[in-house]
Structure 1
Amino acid sequence: MTAKTVLVTGATRGCGRAIAVELGRGGATVYVTGRTTRGSSSPMQRSETIEETAELVDAAGGRGVPVRCDFTSVADVDALRERVEAESGGLDVLVDDVWGGDPFVDFERPYWESSLDDALTLVHNALDTHLIALHRLLPLVVRRPGGFVIEVTDGDDDEYVGAGIPYYLAKCGVRALGRALGAELAGRGCVGLSVTPGFLRSEAMLDLFGVAEPNWRDAVTGAGGPDFALSETPYYLARGVAALVNDPDAARFAGRTIASWTLMREYGVTDVDGTRPDWGRWYAEVHKAGRNPAEVDPAPYR
């Protein structure tokens, strides 16, 4: 990745942060974009900042460039594009990981009993932002044959598993963008696709379950439940993404949604603890088979 230029949207935390770091590990210049800075918090009210992510990129061996950008604002994205164009001339990799929907998800009530304002805000934050980012930033990618555009979603198919209609629409929409980008970019010598983690052990998820990374397994018998034994850090997907963009035959994945466990099988990547969580196999062999997760040994699935 030396001499490559990367831009990651939603790089403040989670998969966006980890992907920025792992691509920076290869020597890339990474524009780390998001809304939370050390001087200004976003409505997510999280403590992580784009400056922290940029410092992690630097420590990994790349060059992190933090740029505050609200992807609901066309003016913000225009300013970002102008800066990247002036400083780097174009982009080799665009990773689109904007989300901003957590406070507006309602997993408990039927859609018709939930807040319509929250539903519309979720979709606006999760899909309109991607359209704005792609419209303004794709020109920087297509001018460099061999580029990548990677959409980050949740789930590798469109099966509805009860997560709520607005959330389902948002994540299906991002997968659809990956399919469309695969077709649109193929004639430009670039690769477009989507990627997804499994049960993500993000900073917010750890907080939700009242654990930290060193003792995350305590939540398996607590708030996280038995499925949490198959959880993965954001770096698991990120390592797979780094392997993907360095694969000279990556175009075979164009238009697909590639899961962390698929990337593991393809490239042999491991999570930070050396394990290989396989959420896809766990879901198929435990949940779809009607087995009780609490009665299944998770060890063979890691």
Structure 2
Amino acid sequence: MTTETPLQGKIALVAGATRGAGRAIAVQLGAAGATVYATGRTTRERVSEVGRTTETIEETAELVTAAGGRGIAVPTDHLDPAAVRALVARIDEEQGGLDILVNDVWGGEHLVLALWDAKMWDTDLDHGLRMLELGVRSHIITSSCALPLMVRRPGGLVVEVTDGTAETNRRYRENFYYDLTKNAPIRMAFALGEDLKSTGCTAVCVTPGFLRSEQMLDTFGVREDNWRDAIAEQPHFAIAESPVYLGRAVAALAADPDRARWNGRSLSSGQLAKEYGFTDADGSRPDALAYFEDVVFGGKEASADDYR
């Protein structure tokens, strides 16, 4: 193991690694030397309810390997306990342990668009409950099945991925079901942190700022190489960050021998960038949550560039 590959020999499961933050986390863990099981529902043969064919778990696994790790794609519906148990059994058989679990399953953007700003009683109940299934129940199932493998040896890391921190999510998050869905992982990391203390493992929750995911870029009709063109339509997009930023955040956490100091906490990409010294893919260090707190909600006279 070298300083360039601090996760050499480590085994990671990134649940929800098809695209966006999950894919970037998987790739950055691979770049640090880890073997990464990349799971999700969209493969080259099958498309999930998200409806995107441009990203697959096989491609994610190939990117992990190209980055220097070993990527293994396993199609998995994380709402199916039997499927998740089979996944964990495979990891146990092939690797004998699990060091890093990333709960990034989501895939509910299409539901968010339908529910945005709708009152609870005006929200389609099936849509709302589906959002909770995708963003909460899937995480619970995955942790329940995978943690018995992780706690066999000390030093494991569980990462819950959400939108916002405990501090920023004191504000209402647009819709009753979205608010519950995105606050639950914060509390899950806290609760798991309490349960894991005696095992020598750590649980945290992480969030990006304004994420330039593949879907977000498509929403604005731009690509990663010309994403700034979308600022004309949405000025706050100027603070947007690429998925690489959160990927580097999780890789830094996983490589930190003193990561237990974060146990049970919710952390942002911008906060962790300051702590560990990494940057986004373009060399900047955006702090979107601070920008929104100070400028958007706080009325401070400043530009996004002041927070990059």
TM-score bracket for the superposition, by shorter chain length: over 0.9
Gaps of 5+ in 2: 1-6
1:162: how far off? Answer: 4.0
Which letter maps to 1:217? R
Which of the numbers 58, 61, 65 marks the counterpart of 1:51? 58
1:168 aligns with 2:174: no
The match for 1:14 is: 20
1:198·1:231 contact (CA, 8 Å) conserved in 2?
yes
Q: Structure 1 CA distance, aligned partners of 2:89 and 2:294?
A: 49
The match for 1:194 is: 205
Ranges of 4+ aligned residues in structure 1 off by more than 6 Å: none
TM-score after normalising by structure 1: 0.96
1:70 aligns with 2:77: yes
1:160·1:168 contact (CA, 8 Å) conserved in 2?
no
Q: Structure 2 CA distance, aligned partners of 1:70 and 1:19?
A: 19
What is the RMSD computed on CA atoms of the aligned residues? 1.1
Which letter maps to 2:297? K
Map 1:235-274 onto structure 2 (within 5 A): 235-274=244-283
Alpha-carbon displacement from aligned partner over 1:217-263 (angstroms, at most 9, x marks no partner): 000011xx111000001110110111111111111100000100110
TM-score after normalising by structure 2: 0.94
Gaps of 5+ in 1: none
Q: Structure 2 CA distance, aligned partners of 1:148 and 1:159?
A: 26
The match for 1:141 is: 150
1:90: how far off? Answer: 1.2
Which letter maps to 2:194? A
| The 10-residue stretch of structure 1 (242-251 or 160-169) with the greater mean CA deviation from structure 2 | 160-169
1:131 aligns with 2:137: no
Alpha-carbon displacement from aligned partner over 1:1-29 (angstroms, at most 9, x marks no partner): 11110000000001110000000011111
Q: Structure 2 CA distance, aligned partners of 1:243 and 1:83?
A: 27
Q: Structure 1 CA distance, aligned partners of 2:117 and 2:203?
A: 34
Q: Structure 2 CA distance, aligned partners of 1:280 and 1:125?
A: 24
Q: Structure 2 CA distance, aligned partners of 1:112 and 1:41?
A: 31
Q: Structure 2 CA distance, aligned partners of 1:164 and 1:144?
A: 40
Q: Structure 1 CA distance, aligned partners of 2:252 and 2:98?
A: 18
Q: Structure 2 CA distance, aligned partners of 1:36 and 1:234?
A: 19
Which of the numbers 229, 239, 242 marks the counterpart of 1:230? 239
The match for 1:204 is: 215
1:26 aligns with 2:26: no
Corresponding pairs, count: 297
1:267: how far off? Answer: 0.6
1:243·1:267 contact (CA, 8 Å) conserved in 2?
yes
The match for 1:87 is: 94
Q: Structure 2 CA distance, aligned partners of 1:218 and 1:93?
A: 37
